[in-house]
Amino acid sequence: MASKDSVAIFSFPNITSFVSVKLDGTNYLNWTTQFIPILRSHDLLGIVDGSEPCPVQFVTDDKDKPTSVVTTDYLVWQKKDQFILAWINATLTEKVLSTVYGRTSSRQVWNTLSNRFAPHSRSRISHLKRQLQTLNQSNKTCTDYLLTAKNWSDQLAAVGKLVDEEDLISYVVAASSFVVKDLQTNKVLFQGPSEAGLYPVPFQQFQFNKMKAASSFTALLGVTAPV
């Protein structure tokens, strides 16, 4: 028997309007990157990560013994849990969905997917880090080279692995042919293996605006390079 107290009425948006990919087993990072903010913005993340456990199901009497009356908190939590479960299932491919048959709660399904696909994601993170740490300008123009570095950095940031600004500068100049100088002091701060002249110019003139680096980075440094 349910509690006579009114159960909170709430509605959630169509998840497919916010999660543009279906989890197919190879795109777990992309999927969670889109999914987690939706859960967090609706105060639902705690249900899948375990920080908001299921409340007590039955109201207790004055002797602290359970009755047949179901608590409102339990009903609301269960309703939210099933909404999340429906969301998750709606964003899985048929192949992946078949791996969670029999799971009846959102946390069970979430953990099953994490255990199955997170190791692959950790390998992806390692791959992105290696790509950034082993940058090679080769025959790229400096603009293309910098955008390549920014792309790897952005992909790491998207999965919560922010790249320190100084580390990013270090990776960029390690295998490039340009020189980085302080425009105010004219002091060479970094330089690549081959100098092409020390003529500091603002980042804007170097078409570095697309890189969207931190404001301190763009304000203090100048770059010279053969473009």
Give the model's pLDDT for residue 117.
86
In a domain, 129, yes or no: no
DSSP E strand stretches across 66-163 = 66-70
Residue 221 near residue 203, CB atoms below 8 Å: yes
Q: Does 139 share its domain with 185?
A: yes
What is the band of 129 on the pLDDT scale with cuts at 50, 70, 90? Answer: confident
Higher pLDDT, 29 or 93: 93
Query: Residue 197: pLDDT above 60?
Result: no
Q: Does 111 share its domain with 30?
A: yes
The torsion angles phi and psi of 202, rounded to 5 degrees, stand at -60, 150
Identify residue 121 by its one-letter amino acid code: S
How many distinct structural domains can be found in the chain? 2
Give the model's pLDDT for residue 206.
39
Mean pLDDT of 167-187: 64
DSSP E strand stretches across 87-209 = 179-182, 188-191
The end-to-end CA distance of the chain, in Å, is 75
Retrieve residue 148's tokens: 């390549």
- What is Dmax (Cα atoms) for the chain? 86
Identify residue 69 by its one-letter amino acid code: V
Q: Could you say which of 121, 144, 173 is where a domain stops?
A: 121
What is the band of 124 on the pLDDT scale with cuts at 50, 70, 90? Answer: confident
Q: Does 82 share its domain with 158?
A: no
Q: Does 117 share its domain with 169?
A: no
The residue segments making up the domain with residue 150 are 134-224
In a domain, 8, yes or no: no
In a domain, 10, yes or no: no
Give the model's pLDDT for residue 161.
76
Q: Does 141 share its domain with 73?
A: no
**Sheet with 188-191, side-by-side order of all strands:** 188-191, 179-182, 221-224
Q: Could you say which of 86, 121, 156 is where a domain stops?
A: 121
Residue 23 is inside which H or E element, if any? none
Among all chains, which residue has been given the structure tokens 């060479």? Answer: 188
Retrieve residue 73's tokens: 């908190």
Between CA 159 and CA 35 the distance in angstroms is 12
In a domain, 146, yes or no: yes
What percentage of the chain has pLDDT greater than the value 70? 69
Give the model's pLDDT for residue 222.
37
User: 161-170, 197-206, 213-222: which range is least confident on average?
Assistant: 213-222
**DSSP assignment letter at 75:** H
Give the model's pLDDT for residue 178.
54
pLDDT digits (tens, 9 = 90+) for 62-79: 888 989 999 999 999 999
Give the ranges where the chain is alpha helix by DSSP (H). Answer: 28-41, 45-49, 72-90, 94-97, 106-133, 142-158, 165-174, 215-220
Q: Does 74 share its domain with 104?
A: yes
Non-local (6+) Cβ contacts of 88 within 8 A are 35, 106, 109, 110, 113
Q: Does 186 share its domain with 102?
A: no
Mean pLDDT of 136-158: 76
Give the model's pLDDT for residue 9.
61
Give the model's pLDDT for residue 44.
94
Among all chains, which residue has been given the structure tokens 């100048």? Answer: 222
Our separate counts of H helices and E strands in the chain read 8, 5
In a domain, 47, yes or no: yes
In a domain, 4, yes or no: no
Query: Residue 194: pLDDT above 90?
Result: no
Retrieve residue 134's tokens: 């082993």
In a domain, 128, yes or no: no
User: 38-47, 133-142, 176-185: which range is least confident on average?
Assistant: 176-185
DSSP E strand stretches across 135-182 = 179-182
